[in-house]
Every structure is written in structure tokens, then in C-alpha cells.
Structure 1
Amino acid sequence: MNSQPVLCLIVYCLLACCGIMLLVWFWARKIKNAGVVDIFWSYNFPVIGVILWLLAPGFPTRRHLICAMVILAGLRLGTHLAIRILKHINEEEGRYQQLRKEWAPNPDRKFFFFFQFQAISNVLLAIPFFISAMDTNPQLSGFEYAGFALWFISITGETIADRQLAAFKRDPANKGKVCSVGLWNYSRHPNYFFEWLMWVSYFVFALGSPYGYLAVISPAIILYLLLKVTGIPATEEQSLRSKGEAFKQYQSSTSVFIPWFKRPLTP
């Protein structure tokens, strides 16, 4: 196993992620479905995890642990999205249809830059992984144990939320209705909440390493994106377009993000 300096690792990760997104852009242009970018944005993190696992010089136990966390979480989310998106591969998700309209008359060109930005964001968000995988200290700290525990809670919560929503959508009787079962009874976006909590866990894990405080950048960016940009705003706009008054009532009865912040929709 060859150890590489951090700059080389960053370059390797950028080349890998940008290359993958270039291929995905060609595919998306062919099938007229930009939604596939979500699948490979998730899968790019395991790619980064494998590169760091193979080439980073950090203490093996720490490096293996953080890389395993990243790989497992990325594969789980990417596969969940792939199952959902590939079932309707000929029908582009509403928020990407909206972007396609806004970016006319040449949406493919703008989608190219959008896909490449997603690849760059993969590497930027991977700051906690680089910090942890480069740390050569041969002893784990309490931060790393706490980060792993929080990660386990996060991936479990996100998995439960995703499965509850998938089960709700599979029932034909729920067509056109708003999911308000399980965790969705307490939050409109429990999946997003646990996804953000996972990035907090990576930050906590990185605090056990030198310069670990820099890892706060990742959960801060994720929180901003979820609350203000591509996460909740776009999802709720699409829900309002497709479900109308039913979703407005759901909005008035549930927390937008944190599951226990407001009263549940039903007793």
C-alpha cells in the first residue's frame, strides 16, 4: 500500500468523481433524465472512501473505520435512490423537469456544469474523511467512538425513514396522498434530518484528529443546502405542485426538519 500526500489524494478523488459525473452526464443526456445525478453523487463518496482506504497514510484502524462508514452509507443511499429512480427512468423527477424548463433552450449544457459541480462538492464535503484518514496517531479518541455511535444512529434513522416512505408509496391506495406514517408523522423530512446528522457524526469523528475542527464545514454546507437550496425547498415546491391542499395541511401540522420539534400530525 502506497501512502500519498493529501494534495495527491485530493487530485485523485477529483479526477475520479469528475470522470464519473462526465459519464453520467452523457447517460442523462441520452435518456433525458437528469435525476440519475443523485444516484452517483451518493456513490462518489464510496469511491473517495476506497481511494483513502488504499492510499492514505493514517493509522490503519482509524482509516479503516472512517472509510467503512463512508462506503456503507454511500452505498446504502445510492442504492436506495437507484431503486427509486430506475423504476421510473423514463419519467424525470419534477424538480429536474423544472430546472430543464428554467435552463431552456440549452439545458444539457447547464446540466453538464451542474453535474461537475456535484463532483466537486463530493470532494469538498469529504474534508472530515481526509482529516481522519491522514491522522497517524496510533490511538483512537473518545471523539471517534462518539462519532461512530452517532453515525450508527443516523444511518439507522435514515434507513427507517426511507423504508417507511417506500412502503407508503407502494400501496396503490396512497396515490396522491401525503406520507404521514412513522417518522414522517413528526417531520416532513426525517430522511434529510438523519442525512445531516450523519455529516455531524463525521465532524465529531474528525475532532479526534489534528485540524478536526475544519470538518465542521461539511455539516454546515449540508444543512444550508438542505434548508435553503436543493433539498427541502425544491422538494416542498414539487409536493405543493403535485399534492396541493393536502400538503399544505401537512406543512401546518409537522416540523419541517427535526422530528420532535412540533406535535405529530396524528395522535
Structure 2
Amino acid sequence: MIANDLSQTVVTLFAGLGALLVFMGLGLAYALKNHLLSIVDTLWGLGFVVVAAVSAIVSLGGDGGRAQRWIVLAMVAVWGLRLAWHVGGRNHGKGEDPRYAELLENGEKAGRSFAQTAVTRVFVPQGVAMFIVSAPLMVGPNNERMSVPLTVVGVVVWAVGLFFETVGDAQLKKYKSDPDNKGKIMDTGLWSLTRHPNYFGDAAVWWGLGIVAAGSWPGIVALIGPAIMSYSLVNVTGAKLNEKSQRKKPGWDDYARRTSYFIPLPPKR
């Protein structure tokens, strides 16, 4: 039984890795053809959908938690497709994202071509990050027993996260669409409870996925992915990076004083 689980785990990991390589390779080809690195932001959510789909299909040949895989696939698909639609719609027709424009400029100064920067600074790092974060979710459901209580808890946590991410993005989009709000700080709705409802929601979505995929060994390793994602969202690529630009806006200090950094809490008076 243990040997079968180990064999299924190895097959699933290699299948997921292969699918991710093909997917990111196609994304890289698109970026090179259109000279547009920001496409990688749209690919972020879609990549996890591809990995989850391949894992679910591969599980048909094993003895692991097939039901868990299909539940995880459905949850990842809803989250990933929504995120890709949101990011793709936001970036469409706007040219290169300033972050990548700066990256390309620095690369040019260092003597790197567009292709070299795209591969070494964008697509390879993001592909590696996607595999590391999603690998535990591929391994977790290889145990045969599915915990119904954990599945229910996981779906609830995921739903709360999806609500915060979706509604937070929608509120911010509506706020920014009003020219009178240019340069101002969004501090109403979910943004009055946390300075980063979208990033909090993203983290909660991944904890929900991890809880569903967990249950018994080796399922517990499924919590590694959410832990890595949460750390990144809080301290690296998400909230921390976003606040570097937000601090320049008038009224930021007061907003930061009364509003929770990440976990939603009632605003301070």
C-alpha cells in the first residue's frame, strides 16, 4: 500500500511538472512573440488549474483520494479562472506592466536580451514557484481516506477567501473607475477591515485547498503550499510590495493606523 502510494505520488509529481513545463513554455513563446512579459500574471492562476487538472486525471489510475482531487480541481478552477479573467481584463491593451518594464530596462543595462530576461527573471522563477506551491496539493490526496469534516471546513475557508478576493477586487476596480478618487486611498467596504482583502482572500483560498487535500499522511504535506503562499503574500510579493507605493498617498498613515494589515478586523477609532 505504501509502495503504491509512493509510486502514485511520483507519477503525479512528474505529470504535473511536465504539464507545467509545457504550459509555461507556451506562455514564454507568446511573451517573446508579442514582446510582453506581463502575460505571465494572467498565466499565474491558469497554471494551477492545469496542474490540478493533470493531477486529477492521473489519479484515475491510482488508489488515492480521487474524490479529493476532483474537489480540489473544482476549487482551483473557480479561483484560477476568476483570477486570470480579472488580471487579463485589467492588463488588456495597457502594454507592458511598469514592474516588467523596469525589469527589462535593468536587464538591458546589464547586457541581457529580452529573451534572457524573460527566461531567467520571469518565467523560470514563476514556474518554479508554481510547482513548489502546487506540489503539496498533488501529493496530499494520495491517501485513500477522505476526511468529510476536513473537506467541509476546507470548502468553507476557501469560500470565505474567494469572497474577500472577488469582492475586494471588485470594490477596488469600482473605486478606481471614478476619476475623483485618483491618488486617494480606498478605505471603505472590505478595505476598511484589512488593507489587503484581496491578498487575505488569496491566502484563505489556499488554506482551504490545503485543508481539503489534507487528512492523513501524506495529506498533511498539503499544508506546505498554503504556508508558502501566505508568507509570500504577506512578506514578499503581495501586501508588502503593494504598500511601498501606497505609502506615498496622502492619508496613508491614518489609514494604516486604524486598519488591520492583513487579517480582517474592525477598524480602530
Coarse TM-score class (shorter-chain normalised): 0.7 to 0.9
Q: Distance in 1 between matches of 2:117 and 2:9?
A: 31
Question: Relative to structure 1, is the Cα distance of residues 189 and 64 closer, same or farther in structure 2, using a 3 angstrom cutoff?
Answer: same
- Give 1:102-251 correspondences, 5 Å limit: 102-105=106-109, 106=112, 108=114, 109-113=116-120, 114-137=122-145, 139-240=146-247, 244-251=249-256
Structure-1 residue corresponding to 2:13: 10
Q: Distance in 1 between matches of 2:167 and 2:210?
A: 23
> Post-superposition shift, 1:31?
4.0
Q: Which amino acid aligns with 1:263?
A: K
Determine if the alignment matches structure 1 residue 84 to structure 2 residue 105. no
Q: Distance in 1 between matches of 2:204 and 2:143?
A: 23
Structure-2 residue corresponding to 1:69: 75
Question: Relative to structure 1, is the Cα distance of residues 173 and 101 closer, same or farther in structure 2, using a 3 angstrom cutoff?
Answer: same
> Post-superposition shift, 1:107?
6.3
Question: Relative to structure 1, is the Cα distance of residues 262 and 185 closer, same or farther in structure 2, using a 3 angstrom cutoff?
Answer: closer
TM-score by length of structure 2 reads 0.84
Q: How many residues align?
A: 257
Q: Distance in 1 between matches of 2:261 and 2:93?
A: 28
Residue deviations 1:184-217 (CA, integer Å, cap 9, x gap): 1222211001111111112222331322222222
Q: Distance in 2 between matches of 1:100 and 1:218?
A: 30
Q: Distance in 2 between matches of 1:66 and 1:229?
A: 26
Contact 2:185 / 2:249 at 8 angstroms: preserved in 1?
Answer: no
Q: Distance in 1 between matches of 2:123 and 2:249?
A: 30
Contact 2:107 / 2:113 at 8 angstroms: preserved in 1?
Answer: yes
Residue deviations 1:152-172 (CA, integer Å, cap 9, x gap): 111122111111111112222
Secondary structure of the residue that 1:153 maps to in structure 2? Answer: helix
Q: Distance in 1 between matches of 2:67 and 2:212?
A: 13
- After superposing the two structures, state which structure 1 stretch, 95-104 or 152-161, moved more: 95-104
- After superposing the two structures, state which structure 1 stretch, 29-38 or 174-183, moved more: 29-38
> Post-superposition shift, 1:60?
3.3
Q: Which amino acid aligns with 1:10?
A: L
Determine if the alignment matches structure 1 residue 99 to structure 2 residue 103. yes
Question: Relative to structure 1, is the Cα distance of residues 84 and 189 closer, same or farther in structure 2, using a 3 angstrom cutoff?
Answer: same
Secondary structure of the residue that 2:264 maps to in structure 1? Answer: coil
Q: Distance in 2 between matches of 1:79 and 1:23?
A: 18
TM-score by length of structure 1 reads 0.85
Question: Relative to structure 1, is the Cα distance of residues 206 and 60 closer, same or farther in structure 2, using a 3 angstrom cutoff?
Answer: closer
- After superposing the two structures, state which structure 1 stretch, 53-62 or 77-86, moved more: 53-62
Contact 1:199 / 1:219 at 8 angstroms: preserved in 2?
Answer: yes
- After superposing the two structures, state which structure 1 stretch, 43-52 or 218-227, moved more: 218-227
Identity score, percent: 29
Q: Unpaired runs of 5+ in structure 2?
A: none
Question: Relative to structure 1, is the Cα distance of residues 253 and 86 closer, same or farther in structure 2, using a 3 angstrom cutoff?
Answer: same
Question: Relative to structure 1, is the Cα distance of residues 31 and 235 closer, same or farther in structure 2, using a 3 angstrom cutoff?
Answer: farther
Secondary structure of the residue that 1:130 maps to in structure 2? Answer: helix
